[in-house]
């Protein structure tokens, strides 16, 4: 199907992209009135979901207390259970009461393992046999390699299984407090590559066919092997029920329970039921949903082995959960409400995994007790009728954004300023594509945080910008690109140091401070910065630009709003900055900002070009895009004339990053992509966004003439004009290809319009030549 619908802002989790999706669904006739009413902040779910449109609420019931016994210590414990099944929480509480009145539930943590099972295919069984015998002897070097890629994973064993010319390899890890699926995938992938290379060197046998997972780990599936050998946590819960509690709380007798239990076990065996339990899945699902666990692991985590036997004074019950895949860090555990439930259970964070598994087992046994007693007594249906009617560093934390830190930063820039109060706003802000991509792959505090600062005379509206490092940005781009083409993601990583993203976390801090110090007040007001390389903290405090107080703001999709005087002002402003950095090149640290040279990363742009041509269906657009390989060859040779100035340029000068104040002054921000280049590049990018009629050659000539005149040049100067040709080709190859490739996953309004403008501008300038 050629015209596959593209959902707006696909993958992004921002207020703007969410609203675009709501509008899109409304246009299609769908109603999201209730879904869109959510208490979640976008910042809290950035790397938890994609294409966010809202939330569904699952009520949480308080379960407990139950008297829990672990390692000889007794404790009253509670849990939150998220469910829409009436009578579930009541039943869990009834079982908890019966067990507690009988002396409590004792739990035992047995082990925690996580597995991955790479698959290797050989040309013949003999080669597979050689690999099978070779692998065990290399365990220690494989273990050392695998553990390089995590601070927490410990490789316990590697077990090969040979079938004809195929060798499966089960990697077993201990993964600390995380469930470990992602952690073990990363470690195993690098170990796999190491194994392929080492085996080839030592035996001369090249392993051509291998994959990270041959389905032998039973990831999110139930298997006898997982139960027998371990996957996730294995934990036991046991209790003795006194006859009095069975009669008074459960409303049945031990004799009646045993009378029905034994025949039901026989039928379960005849049916080949996997294990035996009543409804462990209900407890696991309710606690998983309430605590931010991976719901995809419910299936395997709900395996339960229930045992019941008669005693002289009542019943003995035990429940084994052999494959409980859980974590107390990572995933959804840090989302505020889920975190609160974990804290209620005293199970949030480091060194809490064992306790968490034990409490799940205790509450699961509570439900088993109550549900089976209800079935036996006939209360099961009645209860439903009554209640069921309807590897990281010490990163900056949100709590550290406080008065002390703000005062420290502003004080370095303005020692006389003494803020009496600091108040952070609750409003959410759009953080830009790059920041949002980064936040999907990082748990760091990244983004914009508006606040007000008051002293005895003034009240300032300010903004903290917490920046991602260039490595974080590359990780975000890599993840996005992997959804487009795996080769593209590798190229982005391989050429990361030759892109404009290199040092992006340092460049913007430098530019703001340098321009402000030297009297070029063309950015939002600058109030200071903080750099802590060890903790990867890069903060910038600036004036908060209130859209209501700006004449033009975020107008990248509204070229008609740009008046001639606004365009002229923006060109004059950016030219003043260009000339400043041209005349004072020594102000730019050599190690910080590099000369932009597409030749050094040509394979990356070649790949981008091939992707967007392949994805395009419009013949006219394809014809346009097929010119790009030639443009790449042109810009790889650089500027032939050496008379054009090279200076620091903004390198992302579009109306998303450039505004006009009410007084007509230009304001330029988001300087993280600055590079050394010819000044023409900023000018053509800005004009490509604000041109209304791409065929209006007079419009283009007017503003290029203004730009040339500001440099003391003539617009008819061919050397100067060739600079615009070079800049337009570079813009098309090195920036527009990124935009077009991004459209494969998300809907953007401007790329085709700007693309048309670029090609039209190029034709006009070449005509001038």
User: What does the alpha-carbon distance between residue 754 and residue 136 come to, in Å, rounded to a whole number?
Assistant: 58
pLDDT mean over 169-183: 92
Which pLDDT belongs to residue 519?
94
Which pLDDT belongs to residue 381?
56
Which of 2-6, 567-571, 577-581, 621-625 shows the lowest per-residue confidence on average (mean pLDDT)? 2-6
**Average pLDDT score, the chain:** 90
pLDDT mean over 264-281: 85
Residue 328, CB half-sphere, CA atoms under 13 Å: how many?
23
Which pLDDT belongs to residue 212?
93
Which pLDDT belongs to residue 416?
75
Q: Which of 247, 261, 375 is nearest to 317 (CA)?
A: 261
Residue 454, CB half-sphere, CA atoms under 13 Å: how many?
6
Among candidate residues 50, 75, 85, 256, the one labeled active-site is 85
Torsion on CA atoms 257, 259, 264, 267, rounded to nearest 10: 170
Q: What is the pLDDT of residues 14-30, one digit of tens each?
A: 888 899 999 999 999 99
Which pLDDT belongs to residue 99?
97
Q: CA 21 → CA 53, 194, 419, distances in Å?
A: 7, 44, 41
Q: What is the pLDDT of residues 183-212, one digit of tens each?
A: 999 999 999 999 999 999 999 999 989 999
Handedness of CA 136, 137, 140, 142 (dihedral sign): negative
For 418-536, strand residue ranges (E) read 421-424, 447-454, 459-466, 526-532
Indicate the SS3 state at residue 459. Answer: strand
Q: CB-based contacts of 414: which residues, under 8 Å, 6+ apart?
A: 527, 528
Q: Which of 672, 668, 664, 648 is nearest to 656 (CA)?
A: 668
The two structure tokens encoding residue 155: 């490789």
Q: CB-based contacts of 199: which residues, under 8 Å, 6+ apart?
A: 131, 134, 205, 207
pLDDT above 70: residue 329: yes
pLDDT mean over 594-608: 94
Among candidate residues 294, 354, 368, 730, the one labeled active-site is 294
Between 356 and 182, where is the model more confident?
356
Q: What is the pLDDT of residues 203-252, one digit of tens each?
A: 999 998 999 999 988 888 888 888 888 889 999 999 999 999 999 888 88
Q: What is the pLDDT of residues 648-698, one digit of tens each?
A: 999 999 999 999 999 999 999 999 999 999 999 999 999 999 999 999 999
Q: What is the pLDDT of residues 421-432, one digit of tens each?
A: 888 887 666 666
User: What does the alpha-carbon distance between residue 258 and residue 244 come to, in Å, rounded to a whole number?
Assistant: 16
| Interior angle at CA 569, CA 565 and CA 574, nearest 5 | 155
The band of 484, judged by pLDDT with boundaries at 50, 70 and 90, is confident
Q: Counting every residue, how long is the chain?
A: 769
Among candidate residues 50, 307, 384, 615, the one labeled active-site is 384
Gyration radius from the chain CA atoms? 32
219 catalytic per annotation: no
* Beta bridge mates, 167: 120, 162
Q: Which of 711, 705, 681 is nearest to 768 (CA)?
A: 705
Q: Which of 753, 669, 686, 651 is nearest to 432 (CA)?
A: 669
384 catalytic per annotation: yes
For 626, list phi and psi in degrees, rounded to 5: -70, -10
294 catalytic per annotation: yes
| pTM for this prediction | 0.72
């Amino acid at each position: 199907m050629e015209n596959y619908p593209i959902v707006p802002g696909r993958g992004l989790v921002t207020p703007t992209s969410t609203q675009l999706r709501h509008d899109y669904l409304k246009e299609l006739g769908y109603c999201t009135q209730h879904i869109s009413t959510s208490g979640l902040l976008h910042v809290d779910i950035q790397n938890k979901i994609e294409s966010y449109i809202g939330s569904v609420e699952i009520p949480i019931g308080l379960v407990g207390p139950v008297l829990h016994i672990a390692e000889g210590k007794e404790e009253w414990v509670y849990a939150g259970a998220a469910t829409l099944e009436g009578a579930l929480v009541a039943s869990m509480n009834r079982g908890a009461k019966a067990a507690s009145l009988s002396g409590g539930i004792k739990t035992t943590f047995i082990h925690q393992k996580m597995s991955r099972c790479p698959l290797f295919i050989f040309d013949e069984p003999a080669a597979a046999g050689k690999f099978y015998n070779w692998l065990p002897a290399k365990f220690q070097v494989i273990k050392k390699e695998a553990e390089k890629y995590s601070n927490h994973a410990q490789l316990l064993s590697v077990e090969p299984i040979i079938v004809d010319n195929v060798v499966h390899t089960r990697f077993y890890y201990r993964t600390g407090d995380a469930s470990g699926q992602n952690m073990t995938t990363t470690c195993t992938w690098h170990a796999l590559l190491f194994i392929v290379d080492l085996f080839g060197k030592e035996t001369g046998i090249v392993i051509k066919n291998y994959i990270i997972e041959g389905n032998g780990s039973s990831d999110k599936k139930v298997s006898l092997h997982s139960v027998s050998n371990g996957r996730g946590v294995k934990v036991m819960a046991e209790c003795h029920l006194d006859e009095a509690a069975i009669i008074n709380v459960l409303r049945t007798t031990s004799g009646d329970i045993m009378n029905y239990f034994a025949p039901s076990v026989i039928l379960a065996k005849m049916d080949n039921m996997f294990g035996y339990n009543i409804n462990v899945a209900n407890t696991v699902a309710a606690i998983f949903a309430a605590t931010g666990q991976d719901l995809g692991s419910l299936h395997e985590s709900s395996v339960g082995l229930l045992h019941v036997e008669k005693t002289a004074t009542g019943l003995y019950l035990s429940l084994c959960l052999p494959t409980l895949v859980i974590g107390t860090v990572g995933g959804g555990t840090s989302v505020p409400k889920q975190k609160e439930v974990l804290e209620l259970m005293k199970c949030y964070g480091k060194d809490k995994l064992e306790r968490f598994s034990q409490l799940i087992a205790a509450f699961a046994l509570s439900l088993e007790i109550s549900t089976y007693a209800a079935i036996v007594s006939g209360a099961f249906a009645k209860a439903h009728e009554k209640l069921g009617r309807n590897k990281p560093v010490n990163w900056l934390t949100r709590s550290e954004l406080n008065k002390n830190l703000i005062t420290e930063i502003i004080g370095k820039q303005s020692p006389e300023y003494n803020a009496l109060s600091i108040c952070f706003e609750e409003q959410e802000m759009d953080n830009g594509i790059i920041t949002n991509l980064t936040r999907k792959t990082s748990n760091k505090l990244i983004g914009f945080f508006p606040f007000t600062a008051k002293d005895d005379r003034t009240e300032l509206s300010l903004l903290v910008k917490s920046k991602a490092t260039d490595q974080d940005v590359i990780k975000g781009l890599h993840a996005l690109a992997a959804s487009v083409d795996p080769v593209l993601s590798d190229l982005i990583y391989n050429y990361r140091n030759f892109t404009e993203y290199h040092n992006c976390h340092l460049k913007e801090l430098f530019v703001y401070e340098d321009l402000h110090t030297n009297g070029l007040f063309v950015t939002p007001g600058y109030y200071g910065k903080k750099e802590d390389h060890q903790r990867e903290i890069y903060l910038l405090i600036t004036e908060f630009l209130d859209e209501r107080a700006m004449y033009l703001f975020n107008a990248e999709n509204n070229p008609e709003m740009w008046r001639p005087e606004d365009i002229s002002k923006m060109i004059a402003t950016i030219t003043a900055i260009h000339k400043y950095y041209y005349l004072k090149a020594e102000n730019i640290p050599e190690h910080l900002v590099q000369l932009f040279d597409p030749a050094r990363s040509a394979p990356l742009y070649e790949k981008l070009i091939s992707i967007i041509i392949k994805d395009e269906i419009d013949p006219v657009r394809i014809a346009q895009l097929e010119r790009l390989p030639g443009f790449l060859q042109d810009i790889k040779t650089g500027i032939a004339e050496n008379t054009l100035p090279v200076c620091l340029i903004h390198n992302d000068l579009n109306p998303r990053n450039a505004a006009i104040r009410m007084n007509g002054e230009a304001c330029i921000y988001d300087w993280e992509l600055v590079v050394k280049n010819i000044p023409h590049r900023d000018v053509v990018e800005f004009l490509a966004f604000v041109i209304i009629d791409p065929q209006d050659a007079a419009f283009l000539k007017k503003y290029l003439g203004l730009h040339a005149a500001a440099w003391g040049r003539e617009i008819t100067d061919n050397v100067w004009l060739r600079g615009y040709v070079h800049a337009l080709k570079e813009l098309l190859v090195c920036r527009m290809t990124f935009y077009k490739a991004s459209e494969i996953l998300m809907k953007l309004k401007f790329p085709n319009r700007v693309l048309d403008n670029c090609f039209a501008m190029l034709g006009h300038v070449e005509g001038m030549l």
